[in-house]
Homo-oligomer: A and B are copies of this chain.
Amino acid sequence: MTLDCPLPHPASDRVLLAHGEGGRLMRRLIRDVLLAALDNAHLRPLGDAALLPPFDGPVVTTTDCYVVSPLFFPGGDIGSLAVHGTVNDLAVSGAEPLYLTLGLIVEEGLPLETLRALVRSLGAAAEACGVPVVAGDTKVVPRGAADGLFVCTTGLGQLRPGVDLGCHRIRPGDRVLVSGTLGDHGLAVLSAREGLGLGDELRSDSAPLTGLVASLFDAGLDVRFLRDPTRGGVAAVLHEVAEATGLSIAIDEAALPLSEAGRGACEILGLDPLFVANEGKVVVFVSPAGADAALACLRRHPLGRDAARIGTVGEGPAGVLVRGPLGVPRVLDEPAGAPLPRIC
């Protein structure tokens, strides 16, 4: 029976079940923790729904759940990660991110200070990206029914005029670029979670891609397709494109940009950086004529300093080929799962 409803200690420094139950404590949590960090004119009325001004043209939406463990990791936390991940899904779809909604599932007993720090980080990231959190919901589940905190974000944006991105635009001969070093996010989270002590330089690349992507559009380059290589890494993007287009993609292993720390960690752990998650990188498919300009454009941006051309699209059959150091191509298999659970 769970009918008992002991009066929660008003000065408790932990999240209580009662914080999620629609009463006074919940209203205090919303005001003191959530609204304190996320306040804006759309959220402030705390109605059942947020009323947003009309969008200009087509609406773009995306949704994500974040279950990363640990909640804080070198280079970020679940709060900033949730904002960046959702904003990036909009950006690579050719949309200008405008708004976020926020769902929190909190485990009873989470220190209020932890929740406060994570919501503050989320609020700061949202503000930096210019995407106010306009609606939210908080649920508290008993100890053991969740693991600390799960965050669910939905992003709303409007399509940039004239943008047409998609696998349908990819042609044999197109070049494949990445905007920087691979695998830093997955490796940093893994190292933090497992206490691997792989060095302080291993930091998540979690960052908003809006500006970097906008610079490609603003330069008028013939970008065919963009994707942020998160779960499953760059390999998952390549497999998806190969399957959707029926084309082959040849990757040059020597061209893959890796941080010093990332290269070392992959060697020690026996991981292929093509399969490790990133949270601040973009894979760019671009016409042959636009490839050099696109690469230069990426490199001019602080988030694209280490951008590289890593491959070329070829005729079918569909598949991904990696040319190793000796120039011999091997087929890059799609794994059933991935070796790194709970990295986002």
Contact = CB atoms under 8 A, between A and B. Distances in A.
A50 B54 contact: no
Given A17-B337, A341-B2, A341-B142, A63 B23 contact: no
Given A48-B227, A63-B136, A63-B154, A24 B336 contact: yes
Contacts of A17: 337, 341
A113 B78 CA distance: 31
A279 interface: no
Interface stretch (A123-131, A143-151, A292-300): A143-151
Contacts of A67: 105, 139, 141, 145-146
Contacts of A18: 336-338
A142 B18 CA distance: 26
Interface in A79-105: 89-90, 92-93, 95, 99, 101-105
Contacts of A8: 336-337
Task: For the complex of A and B, list the 3 residue pairs with the smallest distance between their C-beta atoms, beginning with the closest.
Answer: A18-B337, A22-B232, A22-B231
Contact of A194 (B1, B66, B134): B1
Contacts of A341: 2, 17, 20-21, 140-142
A182 interface: no
A15 B276 CA distance: 22
A253 interface: no
A11 interface: no
Interface in A141-178: 141-142, 144-147, 150, 152, 154-157, 159, 166
B49 A337 contact: no
Interface in A100-116: 101-105
Nearest to A140: B341
Contact of A48 (B5, B7, B62, B135): B62
A184 interface: no
Contact of A152 (B7, B25, B152): B152
Nearest to A18: B337
A19 interface: yes
A140 B338 CA distance: 12
Nearest to A150: B105
22 contacts: A2-B193, A5-B337, A20-B231, A20-B341, A22-B232, A22-B236, A23-B236, A24-B334, A49-B61, A51-B58, A52-B59, A54-B59, A61-B156, A63-B102, A63-B137, A64-B103, A66-B139, A67-B105, A103-B152, A142-B341, A145-B342, A152-B152
